[in-house]
Structure 1
Amino acid sequence: MSDIIVIGGGIAGVSAAAECARAGARVSVLESEPQIGYHATGRSAAIFIRNYGNATLRALNAVAEPIFEQPREISDKPILSPRGELMVASEEELPVLDAYLDGAVGVERLTGKEAAEIVPILRPERIAGALIERDARGIDVDLLLQGYARMLRGRGGQIVTGAQVQALRHEAGQWHVETAHGTFTAPTIVNAAGAWADEIAAMAGLPRFGLQPYRRSAAIIPAPEGQDTEHWPIFGSIAETWYAKPEAGKLMVSPADEDPVDPHDAWPEDMVLAEGLHRFEQAVTHEVTRLEHSWAGLRTFASDRTPVAGFDPRSTGFFWLAGQGGYGVQTAPALSQFSAALLTGGAPVLDAATRAALAPDRFC
C-alpha cells in the first residue's frame, strides 16, 4: 500500500513522485508504456529558456533554474549545456517580437545582419528584427528523468511499467487503481497522465477540464555543407512557424505545428512536415534534400495555456499535475517541488499569485 499513487511516468509524474518520496511519503508510479518518458518527455526539444511562456511559466522557470544548475541528488553530472536561442521576425511579426521582449530578462535585440552572423544560413534580407537569449541552455532530458527515477527508488518508491489504468474508484477513503498488474491503493492519486489526463479524470468520475493535446512534429536533416553547426543556438521564427536546433552534427527542424488531436502515440503528418520544412527553407539559404528521421509528440494545454497543479476541489485525494504543454521538462524541477509540498504538507515554494494561477479550482 502507498501513501500516493502517481499515474503517468513522464518527467512530471516521476519528478513529483521523487520529491514526495524525499519528503517521506510511500509512492508508486504507474506507467502504461513499457518504459518511463515514452511520450512527450522522450520527444522534447530539450531546451531551458528562461523567458519562454506566460508570466506563470516564467515564474516556474525562475524556480527551476537554480535546481538545474545545481541538481545535487538528481545528478552528479551537469544537466544543462550551453546553447542559446535566436528568434527572427519578419516586418509583420515585429509586434510578436516586441511582446516577447516585454518583461524578458537577459535578452538582446539584434538586426537581421547580426542574426545572420550568428547563424550564417539565415537570410538577413528577410529579417526585420531578431532577439537572442544567450543563456538559453540544452537539457539532458534522459539524465534528468533517470536521476529523478533513481532518487525515487532510492527513497523506497516504485515504478511499475506496463500498468495502464483500467478502472478507478474511491471507497472508504482510499483510491483503488486497477491495472494489468493488479490493484493499487492509496488515499491520494496524482493525475500526471499527460495527454490522457482528462481521460483519467473521467474514469475517476470527475468532469474533464478540456485539456487538449496538440501534435508537434520534427525531423532530422543533414547539416548544411561546409557549416559547423555545433555552436549555433536553437533558432526559429518568433511567430513559431518553424524552428531548428543543432543535434549531434545535424539539424533538427520542426514546423512548430500545433494540430489538435485525440490522445494517441503520435506520428508526423507528411504534408504538415513538408509545409514546415518549406517555411524553414524560405528563411535560410539551405535546401532540404533529405530527411534522416522524423517523429511527433503531443503537447497538452489547458485553455489558458497554464499548467494545472493542485487538489481537485470536487473530490477527495485527487491531485492534478497536467497541462504543461511544451514546458513540461523545463518546469519539472519547480512543479515537482510545488506539488510535493501540497501533497505532503510542506512549505510552498511558489508565491501566492503563481499558486492561484496553477490551481484546478480556476476551472470549477
Structure 2
Amino acid sequence: MNQDTADFIVIGAGIGGASVAYWLSQRARVIVLEGETQPGYHSTGRSAALFMESYGPDQVRALTRASLGFFRNPPPGFGEHALLSPRGAFMFAAPGQEAALDAHEATVRATSSAVQRLDARAALELLPVLRPGQVAGGVLEQDAADIDVDALLQGFLRGVRRQGGRIVCDARVGAMRRSGGLWEVSAAGTTFRAPVVVNAAGAWADAVARLAGADPVGLVPKRRSAFLFAPPEGMDTARWPMVLDVTESFYIKPDAGMLLGSPCNADPAPPHDVQAEELDIALAIDQIERQTTLRIRRPTHVWAGLRSFVADGELVGGHDAKLPGFFWAAGQGGYGIQSAPGAGRYYASVLLGAAPDPQLAASGFDPARISPSRFTLP
C-alpha cells in the first residue's frame, strides 16, 4: 500500500487533530499533516489547561463531562503519568457583583462538580492576597483539575503511531482537489490521497476550507496572553486554586513554583504565530495589583495563543453539507483540551459509521448543536 494514501487525512496535529486521529487509527489508515516542525506548536502547546465541567457553552460542557472518564482512567500504555492533578477553581466577586456570582454558582451546581460558596471571611482565608473590603465572597469548584497537556497530546500521538498511523510535520497544506472520489492534498512536496479529509487546522481551519472549496464557518481566532511571575517570598502558593474575578478581567494559577497570570483577553487576530502584546500584560498586571496585594515587578516569561471561535461559541464538528469527504473538527475556542477525549471519540464514530459513545447522550450532548450544517445557507 502506498504510504502516501490512507483512509483519512487529518490536517493539524494539535489536540483536535491528534484526538480524532487516535480513535480513527484504531480501525483505519490515517495520515496526519502538521504544518509546523512539531505537533501542538500553536494553541495546544500554549494552553494553561484546566479541567472544569462548568467552563464553556452548553455542548462544550457536555463533551467535557463525557471526557472525564478518559482523563481519570486512560487506556493502559497511554502515558506514564496521571492526566489530571488536583487544583480547584475559585471565582470571587466584589461587593455589588453578587448576582453574577449567583449565576456562576448555579452553572457549577448544574454539573457533577463539588462546589462550595464562601463568604468574604472564608475567601480571605483561602486566598490571603485578596484585598479585604473588595471581596464579597466566592465560589470554589473543588473538582477542577490541572491537565497535563503534553502528556495528553503525546499519548494521542503515540497511539496513532502505534496503530500504524503516520504523522508528517513541516507539511503545510498548499493545495487540495478532489478527483475520482479521492482528495489529493499537496504538502511537504508530496501529494497525499484519501477519500476523507478532516479539517482540524485550528486557527487556520477556514483557510483550509477555502483551499478545499468549502464555505468557511466564520471562524475568528482570538489572542489570549499569559505570563509567569514570582510569588511573594516565603508564601507557599502551590496549593492555591486557579483564581479569577467574576468579570473575568484576569486569572492567576500556580505553575511549577511560579504564578501564571492572564488578562483573559480575547482579541480578534489573523491566524499566525501570535505573540503577547505589551498592553495585554500591562492590563493584567494592573488588574491583579488592584484586586490583590500581589506585586509584579517583572514577568519572567510572556506568551500568547490563539483560541478560535464561531459565532455561537460551540465547537464545529461534522461532515460538510456541500462538499463530499470534507469533515470539520474545529472551533474549539478555549475548551479544546478539556473536551478533546469526548470530541475526538465522537468525530471518529461519525467518520467510521460506528455507534457513538453512550456517555455522550447521558452527558446531554446533541450532535446537531455542533454540526457545521448550522452555518449552511438554504
Letter in 2 for 1:4: F
Per-residue CA deviation, residues 65-120 of structure 1 (Å, 9 max, x unaligned), is 11100012422421100111011112343333222222423222112221221122
Corresponding residue SS for 2:324: coil
Q: How does 1:37-52 map to 2 (within 5 A)?
A: 37-52=40-55
Tell me which residue corresponds to 1:317. Answer: 325
The answer for the alignment partner of 1:25 in structure 2 is 28
2:372 paired with 1:360: yes
Q: Which residue of 2 aligns with 1:83?
A: 87
SS of 1:132 mapped into structure 2: strand
Deviation digits for residues 258-300 of structure 1 (CA, Å, limit 9, x no counterpart): 1111101010110121011100111111111111010000000
Instruction: Note the C-alpha offset of 1:308.
Output: 0.4
**Offset, 1:30:** 0.3
| Aligned mate of 1:67, from 53, 66, 70 | 70
Which secondary structure state, in structure 2, belongs to the residue aligned with residue 297 of structure 1? strand
- Shifted more, 55-64 versus 293-302: the winner is 55-64
Q: Deviations over 1:39-76 (max 9, x none)?
A: 00001112111111122111111100111000124224
Matches within 5 A, 1:144-223: 144-223=152-231
The answer to whether residue 352 in structure 2 is matched with residue 344 in structure 1 is: yes
Provide the residue aligned with 1:300 in structure 2: 308
The residue identity in structure 2 corresponding to 1:253 is G
Q: Which residue of 1 aligns with 2:135?
A: 127
Residues 49-58 or 206-215, more deviating: 49-58
Residue of structure 2 aligned with 1:13, choices 10, 14, 17: 17
Unaligned 5+ runs, structure 1: none
**CA separation in 2, counterparts of 1:111 and 1:124?**
12
Query: What TM-score results when the alignment is normalised by the length of structure 1?
Result: 0.97
Q: Distance in 1 between matches of 2:63 and 2:365?
A: 12
Deviation at 1:124, TM superposition (A): 3.4
For the residue of structure 1 that corresponds to 2:233, the secondary structure is coil
Q: For residue 254 of structure 1, what is the aligned residue in structure 2?
A: 262
Distance in 2 (CA, whole Å) between partners of 1:113 and 1:29 is 52
Work out the CA distance in 2 between the residues paired with 1:240 and 1:57: 19
Identity over the aligned pairs, expressed in percent?
A: 45
Q: Work out the CA distance in 2 between the residues paired with 1:17 and 1:68.
A: 17
Q: What amino acid sits opposite 1:57 in the alignment? A: V
Q: Confirm or deny that 1:96 pairs with 2:100.
A: yes
Q: Give the partner amino acid of 2:340.
A: A
Deviation at 1:356, TM superposition (A): 1.2
Counting matched residue pairs gives 363
The match for 2:234 is: 226
Counterparts of 2:277 and 2:185 in 1: how far apart (Å)? 35
**TM-score, length basis structure 2:** 0.94
Superimposed CA distance per residue, residues 224-250 of structure 1 (whole angstroms, 9 cap, x where no aligned partner): 122101111111112211001101111
Gap runs ≥5 in structure 2: none
CA RMSD of aligned residues (A): 1.2
Letter in 1 for 2:261: V
